[in-house]
Chains A and B, each alone.
Chain A
């Protein structure tokens, strides 16, 4: 993320350019470049910066839970720079390829995992209108992209030429293929409420108070969140589901033979994916980039043209006028903090619960999570019908049909337009 200072100077530069050239094409071009720079900085900052913080957090939380202090020396009292020191150590290590390994696949596999984890960030909206690729089927796309990471891990395990790595990879494959099913079904429940696959629309529909969040929409969605979070923890192979690495049984599982930089890529991918699944959970269930207290409306005003958002709004790209820019910068922080809280929860769970056995992992998924998620999905489908027949309206609180256009300012009111198109 670029800091506030960088934003202001960029905006000042932009303002001077605006004054100097009345040519609308140039203005559009500059705004376009500014938007592109922001997105690129966000993507790189989130993908590169957050894992560094999470690895430090993991060490610190683990230490505290085990009655230790965790890192204390590198970079001051709290060991802030521990991850950087780890990184320097890892880069200096020799890049080993075992004799039995399939060299090409062995070398490529970490990048496959890393890229799969990175591309998920591209379709994850971090604020209203701030998203790398505003795909109309964003939720479907991000689930598809997240499912690619397993391929890198399987290929890594298989090509290592080691039985421990092979066992780890086989477990990972079996686990992934099973856990994708309840994950998709649980993610479908809030999408069903929203009536859209566009993650921006899903986030925008939960704006306002926290009672608008989809987790409080109906009891089925409430339980679906916990079901989703369990499955998401398993899908990024975190304890208690980290059977692919299982230090006590398989040495280090799929990355037994890896060292140095390639090993660190796996870890970057793992921590980035933790953020990605938490971000999806925040977007689908926990109100996305809004605090839920309605404070945004007080500070920034409701729609595009009111309050602070009306500053410098004559910019050809939505969400990049000065007012909207500041509002969105605030929204990014809210989003990242929310998702980081969920990541902290995952870390907490990892250091508190014992690891399951592989048969217990499969049982949990196929005998419990799949039926539970199917039941929740069925319930969520029937809920509006039951309410409509007993209560006379399909929702308990709020408006039955919420206008997405009036509450949002981003680049995706097209879906709402499609709605009106269809009903016309």
Chain B
């Protein structure tokens, strides 16, 4: 109920902010609305319990990109407000690209078998703090008080099933290990002899090298072209 309400609040803020970015003509106000829109997207991620994704969204888009955007505007703006005027051709082009993106998204969403996905999502209203502890106590007492080996095994299996289910939403460690080329989500408990699922070590390294090249390039472009005598430097 609360989550539904919050979802609608942040969904409206996301769409409204995005719309305001398009409608506004002042660049700094655009940046402000962009913050609203991107921040609300992060909030939607947090609502879905995707903490890592939400934090990355905040760090990269809100904290990084928008700050750089405003910084760039400050360096280049001549007046204290600058207007962005679009020509009709640009508006048409923008609408076309937007429509194409919408088509891609709609087709993408339609092509997913949602009933299959829905079965893997933990039930709604699963309050972690309360149910976890109650269930732990119940299962532990079941394990210790079990009379026969058979019932103890049964209780242990149930306990492990609970642990596995609880693990399903917490993906941070699996994510980290995947970047090292390990796939604990796939490779644990798999049959011997089967090939291991590939991790993301190679793409990760390629992206790292790529970023390093970009950094070196930026430093090369931004270097002082000639010696500037100290004192004559432009103060920031």
Contact = CB atoms under 8 A, between A and B. Distances in A.
Contact of B63 (A108, A144, A167): A144
Nearest to B53: A137
Contacts of B130: 28, 31-32, 316-317
A177 B72 CA distance: 13
A422 B176 CA distance: 12
A143 B59 contact: yes
Contact of A173 (B26, B59, B74): B74
Interface stretch (A78-86, A89-97, A380-388, A412-420): A412-420
A411 B167 CA distance: 14
Contacts of A317: 129-130, 133
A170 B163 contact: no
A158 B29 CA distance: 11
A171 interface: yes
Nearest to B75: A170
Contacts of A173: 67, 70-71, 74
B173 A422 contact: yes
Interface residues of A, number: 52
Contact of A155 (B31, B173, B188): B31
Contact of A422 (B66, B163, B184): B184
B170 A418 contact: yes
Contacts, number: 134
Given A148-B63, A155-B28, A161-B80, A174 B236 contact: yes
B18 interface: no
Interface stretch (A9-17, A40-48, A99-107, A334-342): A99-107
A117 B115 CA distance: 41
Interface residues of B, number: 45
Nearest to A101: B80
A316 B133 contact: yes
Interface string B1-28: 0000000000000000000000000101
B32 A155 contact: yes
B interface, over-half SS: helix
B35 A151 contact: yes
Interface in B129-152: 129-130, 132-134
Given A148-B58, A150-B67, A422-B177, A100 B188 contact: no
A187 interface: no
A151 B35 CA distance: 9
Nearest to B182: A422
B29 A169 contact: no
A52 interface: no
Nearest to A105: B32
Interface of B: 26, 28-29, 31-32, 35, 51-52, 54-56, 58-59, 62-64, 66-68, 70-71, 73-75, 80-81, 127-130, 132-134, 163, 166-167, 170, 172-173, 177, 184, 188, 233, 235-236
